[in-house]
Chain A
Amino acid sequence: QKEVEQNSGPLSVPEGAIASLNCTYSDRGSQSFFWYRQYSGKSPELIMSIYSNGDKEDGRFTAQLNKASQYVSLLIRDSQPSDSATYLCAVEAGGTSYGKLTFGQGTILTVHP
C-alpha cells in the first residue's frame, strides 16, 4: 500500500473551471502537508502548505485537510492554461523521520482553453 496516494489522472478541465486534486496518506503521525506544482522538465515548486484541519486559501488555491480521514485536497479556482502541470502531494513523516517528505505519484492537470 502506497503511503501517499493521489487521484489518478490525467485530469482535464476547461479554462475557468474548478480543478479538484485529492490525496490520502497512511501516516497518522503526520502534521505537515504540502502541495507542489511541477512543470515538465522542471523541479517541484511549493504552492501550498497546510498544518491544521480545515481550509486554507491563497489566491485561487484552496487546500483542505482532514486528519481524521487522512485526506488532503487542493482546489484551483478559475483554472488557467498556465496551471497545466503535475501536482504533487507531499506529507511530512511523523515520529523519528521528522523532516522527510513522502510524495504521491502526482496528478497531471491539463486546462484547455
Chain B
Amino acid sequence: DTGVSQDPRHKITKRGQNVTFRCDPISEHNRLYWYRQTLGQGPEFLTYFQNEAQLEKSRLLSDRFSAERPKGSFSTLEIQRTEQGDSAMYLCARSGGLNEQFFGPGTRLTVL
C-alpha cells in the first residue's frame, strides 16, 4: 500500500465529454504529482502541487486540463472536451522521504 488512492479506477467516456479524476493521499503530504502514461511508454509529468499551490505544469497540460488541490489534501484532475488522444493511465503520486514518489493505482481513461 503506497498510501495513495485514486478514483475511479477505470473511466470510459465519449469524445467531447468532461471527466474528473480524484487522488487521495492517506495523509496530507507536502507534494502531490500527476503523471500520464500511454501504452509502451514511461509516465510523463503533468503537474505538481506543494500543499495547495500548483507549482509547475507541463506543456502536455493543454487548456482542456485543469488540476486543483484545495486545502492541500486531495487533488482533482479534470479534462474538458475529451479527445481520443487523452486515452491513457492517469497516475497520482505522493512525496516521500529523500524526494521519493509513490504512485497510486491509477485511473485508466478510455475515450471512444
Contact = CB atoms under 8 A, between A and B. Distances in A.
Interface of A: 4, 32, 34, 36, 42-46, 49, 51, 88, 90, 92, 97, 99-106
Contacts of A88: 42-43
Contacts of A42: 105-106
Most buried by A among B55, B101, B102, B103: B101
Interface string B39-74: 011111100101000011000000000000000000
B109 interface: no
Most buried by B among A45, A46, A104: A46
Nearest to A2: B42
A105 B41 contact: yes
Contacts of B105: 42-43
Contact of B91 (A43, A49, A100): A43
Contacts of A4: 42
B104 interface: yes
Contacts of A34: 100-101
Interface centre among A32, A42, A92, A101 (most CB of B within 10 A): A101
A26 to B, nearest CB: 15
Given A102-B45, A106-B42, 19 more contacts: A36-B103, A42-B105, A43-B91, A43-B105, A46-B103, A88-B42, A88-B43, A90-B101, A97-B56, A99-B31, A99-B50, A101-B35, A101-B43, A101-B45, A101-B101, A103-B43, A104-B42, A105-B40, A105-B42
B27 interface: no
